[in-house]
Amino acid sequence: MPAINLLPKDLTPKEGVVKVSDLIKKFVTIGFIGLLISLLAFIGFYYYINEKIKEAQTRQDRIKIEISALEQTEVRLVLVKDRIQKSESILSVDTAKNEVVSLSSLLEILPVGSEISQTVLSQNETTVVIDLPSSKTLSELLARLVSSGIYSTIGITSLGYNQLTGYSIALRLAG
């Protein structure tokens, strides 16, 4: 069917204007389609980047948990190493084991009413402060101590008397 134009010929647009108008319509249509495609691409890119960020955050949280667990393990490891070093130093030192045995023997010969108030053990000697209620228990203690033979050297470092508590004697014992 032929195109019928009812407008007078003076009102019809010129052929150049129609071509420019068609060209502009094509550019606008292509631009609009390009804009829609770009918009869809940006939306897709946004969701893609958002998912990657969420994955990175979960990895970061997981790594933080692993790091805190490793920190706790490291602390325990340092404590174990420190304990091993201390135990090695303790085991390498000569002990006062013999002095402890001698001290337990001394406890067995203490007279009734006497009380040990202070004890210092070292590798080769023991220093003991004994409180005694009377001079009789003091002489009894010294007699038992000398006759027992627990210690080869017995030295009195101090001897004191208080009316309320009685005698206090400090002995340096080596055996």
pLDDT at position 7 is: 65
Higher pLDDT, 38 or 93: 38
- The H or E element spanning position 7 is none
pLDDT tens, position by position, 6-28: 767 776 677 888 899 999 999 99
How confident is the model at residue 91, as a pLDDT? 65
pLDDT for residue 31: 94
Cα–Cα dist 167/131, whole Å: 6
Residue 93 clears pLDDT 80, i.e. is over it = no
CB 131 within 8 A of CB 163: no
pTM of the model: 0.46
Residue pLDDT, tens place only, 34-76: 999 999 999 999 999 999 999 999 999 999 999 998 898 888 8
Q: Are 102 and 150 in contact (CB under 8 A)?
A: yes
Which amino acid is present at 55? E
Task: At 169, list the tokens.
Answer: 């004697």
First to last CA, the chain: 137
Rounded to whole angstroms, the Cα distance separating 108 from 150 reads: 11
Please check the confidence at residue 117 and state whether its pLDDT lies above 90: no
Average of per-residue pLDDT values in the chain: 85
